[in-house]
Amino acid sequence: MTLRIGTRRSPLALAQAEEVRRRLLEQGVDSEIVPMTTSGDEGAPSGDAPAGLKGLFVDTILEALERDEIDVAVHSAKDLPAEDDEGLVIAAVPPRVNPADVLVLRDASLPPGAVIGTSSIRRRAQLLRAFPGVTVSDLRGNVDTRLRKVSEGVVDAAVLALAGLARLGVTPPHSAPLGLDVMVPAPGQGALALQARGDDMPTLTALTRLDHPESRAALEAERSLMWRIGGSCALPLGALATVEGARIDMLAVVISPDGSRVAKVEVVSDSPDGVAALATKALIAEGAEDILEALEDEG
């Protein structure tokens, strides 16, 4: 059996698919990578995907999976909507890598009134709160494109996921990881999600060998929170679950786009849904609902 692995065409996506291919080979399973272009890669607006902005970067891959054109879909877990398409399941979550965000700078330090690039409303809001006086500029493109714009001086710095840099083997000359007191990562950041058809038992059996229970539980907790909050790339929601034995800790934040209002909580439970429910309740008590309602009114 040779599994067909569907993935986006970006260098990072291909590196992630290659990581999965290597892990499968170690288990004696042959596979081949099938690169694809999604609506998001082609620049489609978020309204073109049923799951909004997140769905744009997985739509073509999921359609191919549903049509049996591929057997496995490899995603950056943070790109997935909060719910799986009918008939599809997350068959495996390999060991998660560092989920932190990192500030990549053009020079050794951030100048006064610096311009920091990001297209993420979550990152933008937390940057404005943590670094008063900076300007946050929209910055899009793959990792190489964003790093080039920093080096060319288009922006003074940019925020990227540490996991993406690590998977590409890139070490910028000037960078600083952002602590959780400054930047709570996106749900699923640093994790891979391997999707398959729920009735494809040979593929499910092969992928089960790659599953890391602690990473899966953390991802399930963060996706459960995202579903309860209604979170997507278009909402300033950060969440990070950590698992030790039967204990799951979660740090979660909802913040207004200008960084002026924040609801930030830490909760503990013994199940992914349990910790997500506690975090949702605590966030609402801290004013998250008012922040999100104000966003809807602005929209």
**Choice among 59, 71, 79, 200 that is catalytic:** 79
Q: What count of Cα atoms within 13 Å lies in the side-chain half-sphere of residue 266?
A: 5
- As a whole number of angstroms, the distance between CA 23 and CA 78 comes to 21
Tokens of 115: 């311009």
Q: Could you tell me whether strands 262-269 and 72-76 are parallel, antiparallel, or unpaired per DSSP bridges?
A: unpaired
* 79 catalytically annotated: yes
216 vs 31: CA distance, rounded Å = 23
Residue 256, both tokens: 């207004």
Could you give the residue numbers annotated as active site? 79
